[in-house]
């Protein structure tokens, strides 16, 4: 009797998983032998210790002024807003987070316009694992908020919105929070602006 040959079992093909947005944030780079000089940045932006002392005094003056303005608003302006139902007519009102939090510097521009490149350069964050993604191809559509921290840390939108400073973002819904990312860096420029009540950096 002839024995029919059994056909070999067809191996199941494992579908390759498409890279997620998080995977695409991984930066591949090759460190050049000759890098652009950065000596002038500290001088222009006054990152030296002497300038830091002067700006700390300025920061205290700014904080005191804001507190006095808040008292004036609570005692003289807010009662008028309540009387004339201003909040029913407009949603353009500010709470304590907007008044006392550090202002943001917003970097906006078209795809591959150089936003991340200049920030990596200013923050001495080029060719590192924490570098912002750069390149000619479109990068994932994240809104990045850069902040100073004593160690590098990546925060998602939910973690940012839980912070008092960014609590106002919760009203825009989970859709925005899913596209929001925070990055703490131990960079002298960010340390200066965080301590001196000037700004954070926000990239769109």
Q: Rounded mean pLDDT of 7-21?
A: 47
pLDDT tens per residue, range 28-55: 567 777 888 888 888 888 787 777 778 7
Closest CA relative to residue 126, chosen from 202, 185, 45: 185
Q: Rounded mean pLDDT of 168-189?
A: 87
Under 8 Å between Cβ of 27 and 131: yes
DSSP class of residue 103 equals: P
Q: Which CATH number is associated with domain 102-203?
A: 3.40.50.300
The domain segmentation of the chain, as residue ranges, is: 40-100, 102-203
> How many alpha carbons fall within 13 Å on the CB side of residue 20?
2
Q: What is the pLDDT of residue 139?
A: 62
For the residues of 152-163, what is the DSSP string, one character each? Answer: -EEEEHHHHHHS
Confidence of residue 105 (pLDDT cuts 50, 70, 90): confident
Under 8 Å between Cβ of 194 and 123: no
Under 8 Å between Cβ of 185 and 145: no
Q: What is the pTM of this model?
A: 0.63
């Amino acid at each position: 009797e002839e024995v029919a040959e059994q056909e070999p079992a067809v191996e199941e093909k494992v579908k390759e998983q498409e890279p997620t947005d998080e995977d695409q944030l991984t930066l591949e780079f090759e460190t050049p032998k000759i890098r652009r000089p950065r000596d002038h940045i500290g001088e222009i932006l006054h990152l030296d210790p002497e300038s830091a002392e002067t700006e700390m005094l300025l920061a205290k003056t700014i904080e005191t002024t804001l507190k006095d303005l808040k008292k004036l608003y609570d005692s003289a302006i807010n009662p008028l807003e309540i009387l004339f139902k201003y909040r029913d007519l407009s949603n353009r009102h500010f709470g304590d987070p907007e008044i006392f939090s550090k202002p943001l510097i917003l970097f906006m521009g078209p795809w591959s316009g150089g936003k991340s490149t200049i920030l990596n350069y200013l923050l001495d964050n080029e060719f590192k694992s924490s570098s912002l993604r750069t390149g000619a191809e479109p990068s994932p559509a994240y809104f990045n908020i850069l902040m100073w921290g004593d160690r590098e840390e990546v925060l998602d939108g939910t973690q940012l919105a839980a912070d008092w400073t960014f609590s106002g973002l919760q009203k825009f819904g989970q859709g925005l929070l899913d596209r929001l990312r925070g990055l703490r860096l131990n960079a002298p420029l960010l340390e200066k602006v965080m301590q001196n009540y000037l700004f954070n950096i926000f990239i769109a």
